[in-house]
Chains A and B, each alone.
Chain A
Amino acid sequence: MSDFIKIESCLKEIENRYLSTEKVRKKLADYDDTIQLRFLDSGRLVLFLINKDQAIEIKDRSGDDNAPVKIEFTSEQVMLDLFNKELSAIKAYSAGKIKIQEGSIRKLMKLKSLMF
């Protein structure tokens, strides 16, 4: 049975990972860039505001054209499949189901434990 059936539950999991995992916060200790997720099927936008290892704020259905990191999912189902471990991040990336629109590889590497 799938644990994640709505995007909201994935966003909650991301918040949990940040708050409850010291290693994740350590990796983000100097990270203060805004991250925007876009789901192409629904047009839904989500913003992550990370204040280094101090705090995370997730704004569902909010966008920021100037976000320095922008990640696109072809559908909301892709994110659900990732969180339900029915799809690997590498396979999703290779198949074009996840696309990085903005952001350097150095910034993106730090997000792996938070997102995937």
Chain B
Amino acid sequence: MSDKILTIDLSSTFIKVALLSAELEIERVVNQSIDILEEGIDGFAKIFDMNQLWNKICLAIKQIILQSGDQNLNIIGISTCAQRIASVFIDNRGKEIYGGPNIDIRGIDSAYIIEDEFTEKELFNITGHTPSLLFTLARILWFREEAEEKFEKIKKILMLDDWLIYRLSGELVSDPSSAAESQLLDIKKRRWSNEIIESFNLDPNFFPDIVESGTVIGQLKLDLIKKFNINQDRIPVIKTGGDTQASLLGMGAIKEGDIGISLGTTAPLQLVIKKPLFDPECNYWASCHSIKGKWLIEAHAGNTGASYNWFKDTFINVPTTNKDALIDQYLRETLPGACSTFAYLGPEKMNIKNQTSIKRGVFIFPPPQLISNELPKINSFARSVIENITFGIYENFIALNNFIDLKPRLFCGGGMAKSLEFRKILANVLDSVVLTPAIKESSFIGTAMNTLKGLGLYPDYKSIINDLFNYENIDKEAQFVESYKIIYNEWKNIKNKIDDL
């Protein structure tokens, strides 16, 4: 028999399905795009087409099974993770009434109801999250205020990973890492907040039972086993939850004092702590780790991967099959400071509750003048984008350091972690060793770890990491650390001047 783990990651942009060996080697990946629709003209309300989403998930699973061509394939478990904040409401027949992504901010219309009941601080000290317009609580209240007929049909409120688990197994459960991003969870207790549910007179039965990540919650439905052309009778389904928490597991960020950077479309930095802590300024989010007894403080550097991809797609127009490799070459060709070129594309210190305007994107660079003897080229602009991303991460890294006395261990995983040159700059800007697992697709790995743990093949995450992880450690280079202190200050001084543009 050929034992494999099937993992599904519903990220912000893709449905990603992978087959992994029981030793956590990724053997095959199939991606499908995720389409997000606008509801109404104003652009605030956004939805998934839930039928299309499910059909694409099924298609990706069927493709990966077909492509494996393995007659002895034995899927030992399916585990999933999904973008956080996204939620799905279903009716009493399990049909989706609403499915909204992490960028659905319809709650802007209903957040006033929340403010009438709780001050920002009161709600933050229960849920660890703000501002309300982003989260499921405001979405539920929006439906009660603006779409009463649909609200009346709601039977269960699910986070996106809960919904996926439901569609695969028929079981209605949530987990702390998913539920923590709803503004309905009592972060300290890792349970739905009775206080919030009662304050808004919500039906407590809306909310599914909470299990810890790594729990076998049921079996893949028989009709799906048949639909996916899998030659097995039973396949356990194991809960994971939020994609960034899965990513932390996949990096090995499981100990108090570990900071993991999930380098995807955005770059959340999450500090692992042993007891819940709430930022007195209500800025940095408090969340639940996938590990029982571990919590997180999150500082978010913003659209890091999105900035990188935008630059790559817009400015790298040379014929090459691998633009990422070309950008790595540009980084090798250039020095810190990028020929006095500075980029301001968004990555910066988290300040989400005061984000009342979207800053303009800016490049600052020496223009062609008679006295100029060195002008920036495309490689300098590429470096400036990477430096902007690392400066944004740095500001959040410093902020997280203020929550602990320990010197943190720093991990990173995800798409941009594949670039060695990026990790070198990151280590120098952060003045820290950067630990990266050999396999950078950390959300797949973390999700698959829950299958190993859920099936009892390993007693805990630490054993899995000890047995199966190999790390690439990037150490800082003293001469560049000092350069970057000066360059960051220069970047920041200019930023302070242009933020009001």
Partner-B contacts on A (CB < 8 A): 23, 27, 30, 85, 88-91, 93-94, 96, 99-100, 103-106, 108-110, 112-113, 116
B111 near A106: Cβ-Cβ < 8 Å: yes
Please give, as numbers and ranges, the residues of chain B lying within 8 Å of A93 by CB-CB distance.
357-358
- Given contacts A109-B111, A109-B112, A110-B112, are A89 and B44 in contact (CB under 8 A)? yes
CA distance A96 to B42 in the complex (A): 16
Interface residues of chain B, those whose CB is within 8 Å of chain A, are 38, 41-44, 108-109, 111-112, 115-116, 120, 131, 133, 145, 353-358, 360
Q: Which of A88, A89, A99, A109 contacts B357 (CB 8 A)?
A: A99
**A100 engages B42 (CB within 8 Å):** no
Question: Who on chain A is nearest to B133 by CB?
Answer: A109
Q: Summarize A's interface: helix, strand, loop or mixed.
A: helix
A96-B131 in contact (CB<8A): no
How far, in whole Å, are A94 and B356 apart by their CA atoms in the complex? 11
Q: Give, as a whole number of angstroms, the nearest-CB distance from B115 to chain A.
A: 6
Q: A90-B44, A106-B115, A106-B131 are in contact. Are A113 and B356 (CB under 8 A)?
A: no
Contact at A105–B44, with CB atoms within 8 Å?
A: no
Q: How far is the CB of A92 from chain B (nearest CB, A)?
A: 9
Kindly list chain A residues whose C-beta atoms are within 8 Å of the C-beta of B354.
104-105
Contact between A108 and B356, CB atoms less than 8 A apart? yes
Cβ contact within 8 Å between A112 and B108: yes
B4 to chain A: closest CB distance in Å?
Answer: 42
24 A-B pairs with C-beta separation under 8 A: A27-B109, A88-B42, A89-B43, A89-B44, A90-B42, A90-B44, A91-B43, A93-B357, A93-B358, A96-B358, A100-B357, A104-B356, A105-B133, A106-B120, A106-B131, A108-B356, A109-B108, A109-B111, A109-B133, A110-B112, A112-B44, A112-B109, A113-B109, A116-B42
User: Are B42 and A105 in contact, with the CB atoms below 8 A?
Assistant: no
Q: Across the A-B interface, how many residue pairs have beta carbons closer than 8 Å?
A: 50
Which one of B133, B353, B357 has the highest number of Cβ atoms from chain A below 10 Å of its Cβ? Answer: B357
Instruction: Decide: B356 and A100 in contact? CB cutoff 8 A.
Output: yes
User: Complex formed: what's the CA distance from A106 to B38 in Å?
Assistant: 23
- Shortest B204–chain A CB gap in Å is 26
- Contact among B43, B111, B115, B116 with A90 in the assembled complex (CB-CB below 8 Å): B43
A27 to B402, CA, bound (A): 38
Complex Cα distance A89/B44, Å?
8
Q: B102 CB to closest chain A CB, in angstroms?
A: 15
**Option from A30, A91, A105, A113 in Cβ contact (under 8 Å) with B353:** A105
Nearest chain B CB to A101 CB, angstrom units:
8
User: Closest CB of chain B to A76's CB: distance in Å?
Assistant: 19
Residues on B with beta carbons closer than 8 Å to the beta carbon of A109: 108, 111-112, 131, 133
Min CB–CB distance A98 → chain B (angstroms): 8
Contact of A96 among B109, B355, B360 (CB under 8 A): B360
Please determine whether B145 and A23 come into contact, CB atoms closer than 8 angstroms. yes
For B109, list chain A residues within 8 Å (CB): 27, 112-113
Say yes or no: A103-B356 contact (C-beta < 8 A), given A23-B145, A110-B112, A113-B109.
yes
Q: Is the CB of B41 within 8 A of A88?
A: yes
In the complex, chain A residues whose CB is within 8 Å of the CB of B145? 23
Give the nearest-CB partner of B131 in chain A: A105
